[in-house]
Chains A and B, each alone.
Chain A
Amino acid sequence: MEEQQLIRNAKNGDLDAFNELVLTYQGQAFNIALRIMADSELAADVTQDAFIAAYQHLNSLRGDSFRPWLFRILTNRCYDELRRQKRRPSQSLQTSSSEEDQALDEPTYLQDPQNSSEDQLAAKQLEQAVQDCLQQLPPEFRSVVILIDLQGLDYQEACQVIRSPLGTLKSRLARARVRLQDCLQGVWELLPDKYRLKIEGSG
């Protein structure tokens, strides 16, 4: 069933139709939340909240595409949670050293048995470095670079998500890339040649 039909059915209270939309976008939504929040548990909670909120406010979706509308709800929830944490910083009593949590933090390519251990190590280093550098960005820059460079949204969709004009988006993206460039300057050289070639080839 096409997306518009699913949305119409969901608006009429068809939860199964909405859950099909959830299954389509949950991966992207969770990864956006994870990159913004840098905490898998918080990201999962925020993602779930965002889907529930989207279902409850589905009637307010008029004319917009579903994906940017959903991601706007999600990013707003992430910002709210970040603000809440800033006001009341709390340290979780639960340690995150369990195997389950470790598996949760590892992206799919790290679990791929075809990847060599060297590649896995390099990928893990890159993953950690990128995440650290993303955390140093202001939230409005971070969300733009996550949406465009990590999730592959086009400029128009990203504008709808952040509700800003194209010029603002371009400016934020450029500044975010320059900051990340400075932050990740040494990482590229530390990556193995083979892995670098792999990255170049993927581009």
Chain B
Amino acid sequence: MRKVFKPRDAELLSSYLDDQLDSYQRSQLEERLRQEEELHRFYENMRRTRLMLRHLSPHPVPRDFTIQRQSVRPTVRVPTFQAVLRFSSALAALAFIVLMAVDFLIVSRAVPQLELAQAIVPQAALHDEKAISPPIITWGNPTIMGGIGGGGSDQPGLVTRYEIPREQKGEVGEEIILSAPPPESLAKVIPPSPQEEALSVPQPEAEKKMAPITGYGPILGVPSTEQRGQIVARFPAVPLPQADSHALNLRWIEIILGLVALQSAVISFILARKNHPSSLNKPR
């Protein structure tokens, strides 16, 4: 059975054939070749293969490969200035592209920030509302017909006010429906205010006694005279995004680079046209 040799053995034998081993390696390999018959046979085969390859004679050249002057394009030495221009054009174009990409990335990153801001503002507003808005109270007692809006009832509107205990006051936006006056809250019935009394009297008299509404209530949200005309900040002051100076700078750099790239490319093109071999043959 034929022994399969390691690539290392083949490499050693190959180098031995070409006399590329040092004296120690050579003596070791020669010792092995004397002892290992298979290795010696392998070596002999390799030696014969090398002999066969080396014995092959060269083929004659089919033609003369010498170069004719007309077959060689004259080598045009590119002026240094033109080479620099060409390089600067390429560099500027590359920088322009990179800056455009950076600019695009900045814009794409700014969009989520804007969305985030839009999401934050209503929450801030809600928070603000919690702080200053009064609870909404719906007077939904079915036994009471009419109401403040009036109408739709034969009986005169009964305006009933209860002082709501503190713990019964709801949170912002939470409706407190008083279906019936709770026994505890009925304990203290607030007497009607002069305005309410005026409303309950027949109209002509009410017109005579009508005084300008000066108070303000939590339900109607009518501001007091002192507060009228004042601008009350309902939302926390969120700083508006300023025009990004970096983006502006980038724009300017882009424009400058684009112009440099264009200008140097045009100059390089004109110089290349001037120095082109075809233009050298033109009669001047």
Decide if A and B are genuine partners.
yes
Binding site for B on A (CB under 8 A): 15, 18-19, 22-23, 26-31, 34, 40, 44, 47-48, 51-52, 55-56, 104-110, 123, 126-127, 130, 145, 148-150, 152, 155, 170-171, 173-175, 177-178, 180-181, 184-185, 187-188, 198-200, 202-203
A177 B65 Cβ-Cβ under 8 A: no
**Cα(A150)–Cα(B59), bound, Å:** 11
**Cα(A56)–Cα(B46), bound, Å:** 41
A27 B61 Cβ-Cβ under 8 A: yes
Decide yes or no: A175 and B7 within 8 Å by CB, A170-B20, A184-B49 being known contacts: yes
Q: How far is the CB of A177 from chain B (nearest CB, A)?
A: 5
Additional pairs, 16, CB under 8 Å, beyond known A29-B65, A126-B56, A181-B49: A22-B66, A26-B64, A26-B66, A30-B61, A30-B62, A30-B65, A51-B65, A51-B67, A107-B57, A108-B60, A110-B57, A148-B18, A174-B10, A180-B53, A198-B55, A199-B48
**Cα(A23)–Cα(B49), bound, Å:** 31
Q: How far is the CB of B122 from chain A (nearest CB, A)?
A: 62
B65 A171 Cβ-Cβ under 8 A: no
* Closest A-B pairs by Cβ, 8 of them: A174-B14, A149-B53, A109-B57, A174-B11, A19-B66, A107-B57, A203-B51, A26-B65
B interface, size bucket: 35 or more
Name the contact of B56 in the complex, choosing from A127, A175, A181, A185 (C-beta under 8 A).
A127
- Which residues of chain A are within 8 angstroms of B63 by Cβ–Cβ distance? 44
Q: Chain A: interface secondary structure?
A: helix
Binding site for A on B (CB under 8 A): 7, 10-11, 13-15, 18, 20, 45-67, 69, 71-73, 75
Minimal Cβ-Cβ distance residue in B for A198: B55
Q: How far is the CB of B75 from chain A (nearest CB, A)?
A: 6
Q: How far is the CB of A201 from chain B (nearest CB, A)?
A: 10
B10 A175 Cβ-Cβ under 8 A: yes
A108 B45 Cβ-Cβ under 8 A: no
B15 A170 Cβ-Cβ under 8 A: yes
A52 B62 Cβ-Cβ under 8 A: no
Can you report 30 A-B residue pairs in the complex whose CB atoms are below 8 A from each other?
A15-B67, A22-B67, A23-B66, A29-B65, A30-B62, A30-B65, A44-B65, A52-B72, A56-B75, A104-B62, A105-B59, A106-B59, A107-B56, A107-B58, A107-B59, A126-B55, A145-B53, A148-B18, A152-B54, A155-B18, A170-B11, A174-B13, A177-B46, A177-B49, A177-B50, A180-B53, A184-B52, A188-B52, A198-B55, A200-B51
